Amino acid sequence: MTEDYRSIEEALGYTFKDISLLETALTHRSFRYEQDQVEKDNQRLEFLGDAVLGLASAAHLFKEHPTHREGNLTRLRSSLTNSKVLARVGSSLELGKYLRLGKGEEQSGGATRPSNIADAVESILGAIYLDSGMAEVTRVFDRLFLTRLADSVNETWTDNPKGALQEYCQCHWKCSPRYRIVKEHGPAHSRSFTSEVLIHERVMGTGCGASKRDAESAAARNALQSLAQ
């Protein structure tokens, strides 16, 4: 069994003392239902792993961003530990080919299903916690997740740039950004708008869009990119 999972351990940078914990972390409930001799699946480890992942990410963000308020820290933690990030981490570990799945789940593409891979990542973190404690979870978290923090935050900016800019302004300057439409052009059926976003009455970004809302979102995204630089 140890040889079967050695590549996962190398990718994790962690060697299990009790390899059965890793095997359980990779066992989907569909496999347990079909195998009478298998008594455990990864659902309980997933529950534990979700908790320790939350603690590891919260502790890191609390330490690295001493001026951030609760709302901003919560947003950053979500961007770092959401299911998309978990699935990417699991894919980088090639967990899909090690998942123990029932026949039906395997035939329906369960080995590549993002939710299964994300659940397995949380389960592995839970298994590491039981095997060695929180210090090792933190070390593995740093190795696998922190390199993805910038990309995760950028995705959040893309999904809701106005919300992200509002949080940034509240956190750093205790103010809200102000938007103004500075240009409208094109025929009535195909209008185009240009918006500016101002912070403390200083123009921080501009953007264009087919609606005022789209133009404001583009301006917020432009402002966030400027602030990041």
Q: Is residue 1 part of a domain?
A: no
Which neighbouring-strand residues pair with 179? 197
Judge contact between 27 and 38, C-beta under 8 A. yes
> Over its length of 229 residues, how does the chain's per-residue pLDDT go in tens digits?
545 889 999 999 999 999 999 999 999 999 998 887 888 999 999 999 999 999 999 999 899 888 777 877 887 888 788 898 899 999 999 999 999 999 999 999 999 999 999 999 999 999 999 999 999 999 999 999 887 765 555 555 566 788 888 877 876 788 899 999 999 988 888 899 999 999 999 999 999 999 999 999 999 989 988 876 6
The position carrying tokens 């995705």 is 155
Domain CATH number, residue 169: 3.30.160.20
Contact 22, 127 (CB under 8 A): yes
* Tally of structural domains, the chain: 2
Question: DSSP letters of 30-74?
Answer: HHHHH-TT----SHHHHHHHHHHHHHHHHHHHHHH-TT--HHHHH
**In sequence order, which residues have a C-beta less than 8 Å from that of residue 186 and are 6 or more positions away?**
192
Q: Quick one: 108 and 183 in the same domain? A: no
Task: Let me know if 103 is exposed, middle or buried by CB neighbors in 10 A (0-12, 13-18, 19+).
Answer: exposed
pLDDT at site 157: 58
- Catalytic status, residue 196: no
Residues of the domain holding 176: 161-228
Residue 100 to residue 122: CA distance in whole angstroms: 16
The DSSP bridge partners found for residue 139 are none
Q: 92: how many CB neighbours lie within 10 A of its CB?
A: 13
> At 141, is the secondary structure helix, strand, or coil?
helix
Task: Give the DSSP H/E element, type plus range, for residue 137.
Answer: helix 134-144
Residues 112 and 204 in one domain: no
**Is position 11 within any domain?**
yes
Residue 155: predicted pLDDT? 58
pLDDT of residue 170: 77
pTM: 0.71
Final residue of a domain: which of 138, 154, 170?
154
- The structure tokens listed for 8 are 């996962």
The answer for residues whose C-beta is within 8 angstroms of residue 196's C-beta and 6 or more apart is 179, 180, 182, 203, 205, 206, 219
Does 30 share its domain with 106? yes
Catalytic option among 23, 119, 122, 196: 122
| Distance between CA atoms of residues 65 and 74, nearest Å | 12
Q: Among residues 193, 196, 217, 214, which one has the least CA distance to residue 206?
A: 196
| 110-116 CB contacts, 8 Å cutoff, 24+ apart | 110/28, 110/30, 114/83, 114/84, 114/87, 115/83, 115/87, 116/28
Known active-site residue 64: no
Cα–Cα distance for residue pair 178/189, rounded to 1 Å: 27
Catalytic residue among 34, 50, 136, 155, which?
A: 50
Q: What's the CATH number where 142 sits?
A: 1.10.1520.10
Q: Which amino acid is at 45?
A: L
Domain stops at, among 93, 119, 154: 154
